[in-house]
C-alpha cells in the first residue's frame, strides 16, 4: 500500500509517477523492473520514490489492485447486462481482458510471471470469501436459480472454479500469443463445459 505522502501528491504528479511505474512494469516483469527507470521517467529523485512506496513490489501491487478495481466495475456492468448470467458475463469479461490494448503488456508481464499474490489480486475481482463486501455485491446480482447450488458457500466455489479456468486461459493466450479468435473459441469450449456441469 502506498504511503500517505503518495496520496497527498498533486494529481498531476501522482499520475506522472503512476504512468512511469506502469511503463516500467509493462516493459519487464516485476522482478526485472528497475526503480532507477521509474524515477528517471517520472523526473523525481530516487529518494522520493521511497517517500511514496516501500519498494517496487509495493508500487506494482498498487497498480495491479487499481486495475483489478476498475475491471471489477466492468464485471458488475456485464453481470447486470446479462441479468445475472455468470457464464455470459465471464465470456464477455474474458474477451475484454485479452484485448485490453492500453494495459496489454502490463497484464502480459503480470500473467506470465504469476505468483500466488498476483493470482489473488485477480481472483478478488469476482470471487472471495462469502463474508466479504465484494462477494455480497456480486452474489446479489448473480442469477443463482440457474446454478446447481444450495447456498452462498457453494457459490464461492463456483466462482473460484470459473475464475481458475479464466485465468488459465488468459495465461495460455499470452504464453502462446494466440490469435484473438482462437483464444475466444478455446475459452468458450471450456466455459460451455462448465455451464453444462454447473447449471440446473
- Grid cell of 153 as nine digits: 458457500
In a domain, 15, yes or no: yes
Write the DSSP string, 47-87. Answer: HHHHHH-SSHHHHHHHHHHHHHHHHHHHHHHHHHHTTT-HH
The span from the CA of 183 to the CA of 188, in Å, is 9
Look at the chain and report how many structural domains it folds into: 2
Is it the case that residue 29 has pLDDT exceeding 70?
Answer: yes
Shared-domain flag, residues 111 and 188:
yes
CATH of the domain at 44: 1.10.10.60
Based on the fold, state whether residues 128 and 190 are members of the same structural domain. Answer: yes
Domain carrying residue 46: 4-54
103 and 185, same domain (yes or no): yes
Distance CA 122, CA 81 (A): 22
Q: Quote the cell numbers at residue 52.
A: 511514496
Share the mean pLDDT of the chain.
91
| Whether residue 131 has pLDDT greater than 60 | no
Confirm whether pTM is higher than 0.75. yes
Amino acid at each position: 500500500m502506498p504511503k500517505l505522502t503518495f496520496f497527498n501528491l498533486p494529481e498531476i504528479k501522482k499520475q506522472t509517477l503512476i504512468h512511469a511505474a506502469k511503463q516500467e512494469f509493462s516493459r519487464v516483469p516485476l522482478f526485472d523492473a528497475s526503480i532507477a527507470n521509474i524515477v528517471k521517467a517520472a523526473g523525481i529523485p530516487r529518494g522520493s520514490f521511497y517517500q511514496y512506496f516501500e519498494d517496487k513490489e509495493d508500487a506494482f501491487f498498487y497498480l495491479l489492485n487499481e486495475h483489478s478495481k476498475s475491471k471489477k466495475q466492468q464485471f458488475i456492468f456485464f453481470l447486470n447486462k446479462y441479468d445475472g448470467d455468470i457464464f455470459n458475463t465471464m465470456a464477455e469479461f474474458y474477451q475484454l481482458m485479452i484485448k485490453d490494448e492500453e494495459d496489454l503488456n502490463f497484464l502480459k508481464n503480470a500473467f506470465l510471471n504469476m505468483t500466488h499474490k498476483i493470482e489473488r489480486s485477480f481472483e478478488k475481482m469476482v470471487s472471495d470469501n462469502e463474508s466479504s463486501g465484494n462477494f455480497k455485491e456480486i452474489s446479489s446480482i448473480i442469477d443463482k436459480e440457474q446454478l446447481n447450488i444450495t447456498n452462498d458457500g457453494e457459490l464461492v466455489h463456483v466462482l473460484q472454479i470459473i475464475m481458475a479456468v479464466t485465468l488459465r486461459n488468459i495465461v495460455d493466450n499470452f504464453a502462446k500469443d494466440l490469435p484473438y479468435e482462437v483464444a475466444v473459441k478455446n475459452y468458450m469450449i471450456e466455459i460451455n463445459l462448465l455451464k453444462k456441469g454447473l447449471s440446473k
